[in-house]
């Protein structure tokens, strides 16, 4: 698969340990509100332990989030970022969770949806104002009305938008649909924030998504094809020890291999992640 020249040039500064220009400096009041949410009592202790790897403060500041935004979080999983976004946006903004429904025909998705619903119901003071949008690829992928969101966020889900058929043929039509739906849902000037597990630049998409990874140039190109402009890249959650050619779930915190080669995987640490900020141009075509 070929990547655009613009997408490939992104890899050069990354290899040198550099990044594209960051977002404007975060106002002090926004910074303080984020810190308060991150340090709040609603956080699950096991989630807090991963802050040093996921860097939620730096990540959300890089994306340029504000407490008065209408934000869509895509596939929140167990709610790692929900615990931070919900109190941060509760009083002045809106948090919409694009998540599977409890009646999903997919057993895994149904189980995940039920657990997430219980989480939200467990603390109405924190989660009571969250809105939900049914979202379950590849069948249901709407993210909201056109031009309705200020920001869309997706954390560690990019590989979930790649599919292979029974013959092993790989299609990127689902990831394309995600980016196009995100583009449609965002207001002009709106931000799409992506954190995803990074594959080696030379690895094919066909191979990498099965490791829960994607090449960074591929992700950038897919977003650009949908109309987005790359507004910034960051190594906030990069890990140079990760060779980027092994299954993500073999690494911490999952350690899927159990005791086998555990010391090796722990020495590597969590997967190398890309952090990308895209913008929907204020004028389409610009």
The arithmetic mean of pLDDT across residues 97-106, rounded, is 94
Return d(Cα 182, Cα 142) in angstroms, integer: 8
Res. 104 pLDDT band, cuts 50 70 90: very high
Q: What's the mean pLDDT when you consider all of the chain?
A: 91
For the cut 80, the answer to whether the pLDDT of residue 283 exceeds it is no
Cα distances from 174 to residues 127, 136, 166, 181, 256, in angstroms, run 30, 11, 16, 10, 27
The arithmetic mean of pLDDT across residues 207-236, rounded, is 97
Please tell me the predicted confidence (pLDDT) of residue 115. 97
Torsion of CA 259, 261, 262, 264, to 10 degrees: 170
The arithmetic mean of pLDDT across residues 190-213, rounded, is 96
The arithmetic mean of pLDDT across residues 176-204, rounded, is 97
The arithmetic mean of pLDDT across residues 179-201, rounded, is 98
Res. 284 pLDDT band, cuts 50 70 90: low
Return d(Cα 132, Cα 92) in angstroms, integer: 18
Return d(Cα 109, Cα 39) in angstroms, integer: 30
């Amino acid at each position: 698969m070929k990547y655009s020249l613009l997408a490939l040039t992104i890899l050069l500064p990354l290899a040198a340990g550099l990044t594209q220009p960051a977002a404007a400096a975060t106002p002090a009041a926004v910074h303080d509100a984020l810190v308060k949410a991150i340090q709040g009592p609603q956080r699950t202790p096991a989630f807090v332990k991963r802050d040093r790897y996921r860097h939620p403060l730096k990540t959300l500041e890089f994306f340029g989030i504000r407490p008065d935004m209408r934000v869509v979080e895509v596939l929140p999983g167990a709610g790692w970022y929900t615990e931070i976004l919900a109190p941060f946006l509760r009083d002045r903004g809106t948090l919409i969770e694009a998540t599977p429904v409890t009646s999903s025909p997919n057993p895994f998705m149904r189980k995940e949806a039920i657990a997430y619903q219980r989480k939200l119901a467990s603390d109405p003071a924190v989660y009571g104002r969250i809105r939900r949008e049914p979202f379950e690829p590849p069948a249901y992928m709407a993210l909201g009305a056109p031009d309705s969101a200020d920001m869309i966020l997706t954390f560690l889900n990019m590989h979930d938008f790649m599919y292979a058929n029974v013959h092993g043929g790989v299609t990127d039509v689902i990831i394309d649909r995600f980016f196009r739906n995100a583009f449609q849902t965002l207001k002009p000037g709106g931000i799409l924030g992506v954190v995803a597990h990074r594959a080696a630049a030379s690895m094919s998409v066909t191979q990498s998504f099965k490791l829960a990874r994607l090449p960074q140039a591929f992700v950038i190109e897919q977003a650009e094809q949908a109309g987005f402009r790359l507004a910034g890249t960051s190594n906030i959650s990069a890990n140079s020890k990760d060779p980027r050619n092994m299954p993500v779930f073999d690494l911490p915190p999952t350690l899927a291999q159990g005791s086998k080669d555990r010391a090796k995987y722990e020495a590597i640490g969590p997967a190398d992640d890309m952090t990308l900020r895209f913008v929907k141009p204020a004028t389409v075509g610009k």
